Amino acid sequence: MFVCASTECFSGMPHQDVFQTLADLEFTSVEVAVHESGGILRPSDVLANLSHSIDLLRGTHRLALTAMSVAIEAEKAAYYEQFEACCQLAKAVKIVTIVVPAAELGTPFNEEIERLRELVRIASLEGALVALKTQIGCMTEDPTTAVVLCDNVRGLGLALDPSHYICGPHQGRSFDKVIPYTLHVHLRDTTKNKLQVRIGQGEVDYTRIINGLRKENYNRALSVHVAPMEGVDHHGELRKLRLLLDSSL
């Protein structure tokens, strides 16, 4: 296991400044957000100019690229075309894990299964793995449903964000069952009433999570995923969580 940071920690900042800031904070690896809104790249732009997108991600101030988060707003055929382009980008810059959001609650189960099977099929052609985010308001907010989705889509894994199980409607229940399916991890600190609090003031048991992952021979990234908070030293929070995770490994 190793520690990285998501570019989502600096949503809206120019990409070169994001990479430089993370390097200054002594991160060595980065998860890249390719989101139509708030990413350092947009999926529509990746499709329109793949070579330019590849060049952009190669200028990372020597940070290793460990995962790609993809959020596409297009629909139907255009959705899959943009996802395929993102998978081609991932292959070109040697990223294996692609994180995608789950469908919103209320989406027909079979419809989501069909979408996920197609994403896994497309990703596999480029040597990539699909990790479905565990997230409040989506089908993965229930650990049991998250596992069922994986069991119905061969090759699908999860991007575990424990905050959404600690703070969400299923708070208090064990989410150990998702650990064997985990391909990526997002971390911050959280209470039952607030998704993000200052590091050390919440209820995330990093050591327990890491030990659970270690039992499953997890050898991938622990991604720091901390958004700015008003009146709080954002850089200090990122550095604090990096040091805390490093000391637990």
Which backbone phi and psi does 204 adopt, to 5 degrees?
A: -75, 120
pLDDT 10s digits, 64-80: 999 999 999 999 999 99
Return the amino acid letter for 77: A
- Asked if the structure places residue 1 within a domain, the reply is no
- Asked if the structure places residue 159 within a domain, the reply is yes
Which pLDDT value is given to residue 163?
Answer: 97
CATH number at residue 154: 3.20.20.150
Closest CA to 186 of 41, 33, 82: 33
pLDDT 10s digits, 23-67: 999 999 999 999 999 899 999 999 999 999 999 998 887 899 999
- Asked if the structure places residue 5 within a domain, the reply is no
**Facing residues of 2 across strands?**
221
Rg (CA), the chain: 17
pLDDT at 83 over 90: yes
pLDDT at 13 over 90: no
Q: How many Å apart are CA 146 and CA 159, to the nearest integer?
A: 10
Match 């709080």 to its residue by tokens.
232
Greater confidence (249 vs 146) lies with: 146
Q: What angle do CA 36, 38, 39 make, to 5 degrees?
A: 70
- Asked if the structure places residue 219 within a domain, the reply is yes
Q: How many Å apart are CA 241 and CA 249, to the nearest integer?
A: 12
Q: What is the DSSP letter of 63?
A: P
- For residue 143, the enclosing domain spans 13-248
pLDDT 10s digits, 179-206: 999 999 999 999 999 999 999 999 999 9
pTM: predicted TM-score of the whole model, two decimal places: 0.95
- Asked if the structure places residue 183 within a domain, the reply is yes
- Asked if the structure places residue 3 within a domain, the reply is no
Task: Give the chain's domain count.
Answer: 1
* DSSP H or E run through 248: helix 234-248
> In this prediction, what percent of the chain has a pLDDT beyond 70?
100
Using DSSP's 3-state secondary structure scheme, residue 188 falls into coil
Q: How many Å apart are CA 111 and CA 91, to the nearest integer?
A: 27
Closest CA to 136 of 210, 83, 193: 193
Which pLDDT value is given to residue 38?
Answer: 86
Closest CA to 187 of 2, 38, 62: 2
- Asked if the structure places residue 227 within a domain, the reply is yes
- Asked if the structure places residue 135 within a domain, the reply is yes
Q: How many Å apart are CA 237 and CA 249, to the nearest integer?
A: 19
Return the amino acid letter for 60: T
